[in-house]
């Protein structure tokens, strides 16, 4: 899922916590799609709508200081709530408030996967 847009209040500067701003999230999940491809049934895959709502809850929910923490929270939630093998999360903060700068996006990208040990993530 690419180009998800959310309005949040993340950042370390007080004005970011008061004014907020738009954030962009791109997401890739890995799982076995063979059963869904063969059956053509939603029950054999993951609903995009459910994933979107989970990402929205993080990005529009509790403010985080760092983009890294927002990305990690998304990865943790998706790995905990959905039968995915791994997740790649990219969080972008358009035009970050850095005095005298011209920056299109501040971007963080993380990749997390399930461990071979039950209940552990890597």
| 14 vs 7: CA distance, rounded Å | 16
- Answer yes or no: are the C-beta atoms of 46 and 25 closer than 8 Å: no
Distance CA 33, CA 44 (A): 8
Beta partners for 82?
none
Active site residue 93: yes
Name the active-site residue from 93, 107, 117, 122: 93
| Residues with a known catalytic role | 93
């Amino acid at each position: 899922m690419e180009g998800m847009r959310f309005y949040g209040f993340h950042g370390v500067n007080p004005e970011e916590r008061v004014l907020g701003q738009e954030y962009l999230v791109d997401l890739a999940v890995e799982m076995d799609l063979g059963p869904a491809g063969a059956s053509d049934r939603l029950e054999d895959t993951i609903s995009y709508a459910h994933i979107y709502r989970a990402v929205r809850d993080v990005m529009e929910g509790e403010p985080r200081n760092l983009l890294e923490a927002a990305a990690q929270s998304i990865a943790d939630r998706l790995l905990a709530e959905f039968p995915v093998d791994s997740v790649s999360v990219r969080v972008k903060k358009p035009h970050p408030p850095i005095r005298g700068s011209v920056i299109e996006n501040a971007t963080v990208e993380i990749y997390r996967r399930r461990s071979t040990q039950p209940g552990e993530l890597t």
